[in-house]
Structure 1
Amino acid sequence: MLRLYPGKLPDLELMFDCEDKPVVPLDKFHGPNAKPPPLFRYCSDQWSLDIVFPDWSFWGWAETNIKPWENTLKDIKEGNKKTNWKDRVPYAYWKGNPYVSPTRQNLLQCNVTLENDWNTLLYIQDWVQESNQGYKKSSLGDQCTHRY
């Protein structure tokens, strides 16, 4: 970056915290001189100033049977071939653990109900149960059945 943009990048100090829960509370940093630390973290919420960034450590996480990225990408490409686009469920798909943040819990309110159909199908991933059942329902390659 420095070679591409000589003299144009300011000195900058960043902090990355590799935990799930936000730690920079909004109510502690208010007023004209209250500047929050630029803390990058995996999660944030409406009460926090943590800056969300992707958690790429999951690409190769043995405890949850997630393979290295090269293998996962191959599985996704193969899974993508199993169902033609026009035959896929025309809904947005999400599967994960909603209990790690209020934002994820709020997301579940967008799931299909008898009263509302927001064109989303949201599934709770219980990693303990998945582990006990041999990780049969968590392959990313098997999740290429929805359009979005």
Structure 2
Amino acid sequence: MFDCMDKPIIERKASVKPMPIFRYCTTPNHYDIPFPDWSFWGWSEINIGPWEEEFRSIKQGSQKQSWSKKYPYAYWKGNPDVDSPIREALLQCNDTTQWGALIMRQEIQHGFKQSKLSAQCNHRKYKIYAEGYAWSVSLKYILLCGCVPLIINPKYDDFFSRGLFPKKDYLPISPENICPSIKTAVKWGNAHPAQVSFHISS
């Protein structure tokens, strides 16, 4: 059975054996089986094309400027109004001097015209991933961006994210101390460019 709602529902502690449920995400406490979400086929409402197109576009955009020449701070752009305490807390980190981060709301009222994914990879050394109501489709684009991924410790896994390892594939950010944690990661990365380079997609 396929269920296209956001959050997993088949708990592992259930006393009755459940039927297999495929869903966009799962957690260690759920039996839901993750499968690719709709955005791989495109999301026209927010100007996202199919994965094959976005892959090429983001890859080309990420290579326009070398990592060493990008601005030395972290970047996040998205919708905080999705019942996500993590994203609401992230808004408080919008200070490149104090926290090393530029945090922006997506321009919903302007039809997402300035939200081209490839353009978001050109200028900053670090890209932040923050879950929304559940998992977020943005992770695959962030990992492709040619930036160091800063992932606020997630609750949910999609079909590929369980294969990612903190401090190997990304730098972890504490959900309890988001702003100081971002600052620490950015400061460390800027001071250790050779060590941080393995976090960057190529």
- Give me the TM-score of the superposition, normalised by structure 1: 0.57
Structure 2 partner of 1:139:
116
Residue 4 (structure 2) aligns with: 18
Alpha-carbon offset, residue 80 of structure 1: 1.1
Structural mapping, 1:1-148, within 5 Å = 17-20=3-6, 56-59=37-40, 60-113=42-95, 116-117=98-99, 119-127=100-108, 129-131=109-111, 135-144=112-121, 145-148=123-126
Shift of 1:16: 6.3
1:70 CA displacement? 0.8
Does the Cα contact within 8 Å between 1:92 and 1:120 map onto a contact in 2?
Answer: yes
The root-mean-square deviation of aligned C-alpha atoms, in Å, is 3.9
Q: Which whole-Å CA distance do the structure 1 matches of 2:73 and 2:118 have between them?
A: 17
- Identity among equivalent positions (%) equals 39
Show structure 2 runs of 5+ residues with no match: 10-14, 127-202
Return the letter of the residue paired with 2:4: C
The 3-state SS of whatever aligns with 1:98 is: coil
TM (normalized to structure 2)? Answer: 0.44
Which consecutive unaligned segments of at least 5 residues does structure 1 have?
Answer: 1-14, 25-32
> C-alpha offsets along residues 37-88 of structure 1, whole Å, 9 cap, x if unaligned?
x9886689xxxx8x8x687322311122110111101111111122221111
Total equivalences in the alignment: 123
Deviations 1:83-135 (A, max 9, x none): 22111122222111111122343342452349942x222111133x231xxx4
* Cα contact 1:130–1:138 (8 A) shared by 2: no
Between Structure 1 and Structure 2, whose CA radius of gyration is higher? 1
For residue 6 of structure 1, what is the aligned residue in structure 2? none
> Which residue identity does 1:138 align to in structure 2?
S
- Structure 2 residue identity aligned to 1:126: E
Counterpart secondary structure, 1:94: strand
